[in-house]
Amino acid sequence: MSSGPQQSGGNEPLLGDFPAPVRPKHVAIIMDGNGRWAQQQGLPRIEGHRRGVDTVRMVCETSVELGLEAVTLYCLSSENWKRPKEEVDFLMLLLEQYLIEERELIMDQGMRLRVIGRRDRLPPSVLAEMDKTLEMSANNRGTQLVLAIDYGGRDELTNAVRQIADAVASGKIDPDAIGESTITSRLYTAGLPDPDLLIRTGGEMRISNFLLWQISYCELWVTPKAWPEFAKADFLGAIGDYSARHRRFGGL
């Protein structure tokens, strides 16, 4: 019996090598390296973001093939507003175009869109297309596509604590009754299973303020490949590596 995934005629594992018991339910991805990849190719940084959309499409299609419950993509962090205005403006335009152009794919694949993060700093045109796709896909029952936009883990936790403090002050919650579920139910990701696997492209060894509460027992997988060059074989390789791990959750 093979201890790892088999290989197809090409270089990628076979989807059938990941039976449900060892397959992650929820995969979160830090899509890093777009700008650096573009610069290495002699291209403007924004071209790396444009090429990265193709990788997003591949991940969505493969996640549906694998029957994943959810895939969460770190699209824009709350710290990314510090980047040059030209790059941020392009990211907003790209996001708007993605929500329009990939709407058909989302519907054809039966995916349900979900967005986590702040809304108040996003352009009205982006919000309009976002809400349209959210509404159109609301009744889909396939893989949830979770886009983290203007998202920060500390901001999410601060917001949850503020909600709990208000509930305590109004007498709706007894402080002694506060537990993990009290916090979890007030996070942007309420109702989603915690990620089983966190993939980071671009080779950096940090989690960048992403899903700080939710990844407490998440398996980590990092590749030096930048997001635009992250292929289906790499995605399946990460799933295969996860499937071979023994998760103990602090036990033996």
Helical (H) or strand (E) element with 115: strand 112-116
Among this protein's residues, is 32 annotated catalytic? yes
Dump pLDDT digits (tens) for 123-133.
999 999 999 99
Q: For residue 13, is pLDDT > 90? A: no
Q: pTM score, two decimals? A: 0.90
Radius of gyration of the chain (CA): 19
Q: For residue 245, is pLDDT > 70? A: yes
Q: For residue 77, is pLDDT > 60? A: yes
The mean per-residue pLDDT over the stretch 201-213 comes to: 97
The active-site residue, picked from 80, 140, 159, 209, is 80
Q: For residue 7, is pLDDT > 50? A: no
- pLDDT number for residue 23: 87
**The CATH number fitting domain 23-243, selected from 3.40.1180.10, 3.30.390.50, 3.40.50.740, 3.40.50.150:** 3.40.1180.10
Q: For residue 12, is pLDDT > 60? A: no
* CB neighbourhood size of 193 (10 A): 13
- Annotated domain spans of the chain: 23-243
The active-site residue, picked from 17, 32, 150, 234, is 32
The mean per-residue pLDDT over the stretch 71-92 comes to: 91
Percentage helix, strand, coil for the chain under 3-state DSSP, each rounded to 5: 45, 15, 40
Q: Are 140 and 70 in contact (CB under 8 A)?
A: no
Q: For residue 35, is pLDDT > 50? A: yes
Dump pLDDT digits (tens) for 209-243.
999 999 999 999 999 999 999 999 999 999 999 99
Q: Which one, of 31, 61, 69, lies nearest residue 189 by Cα?
A: 69
Average pLDDT, the chain: 90
- The two structure tokens encoding residue 76: 């824009």
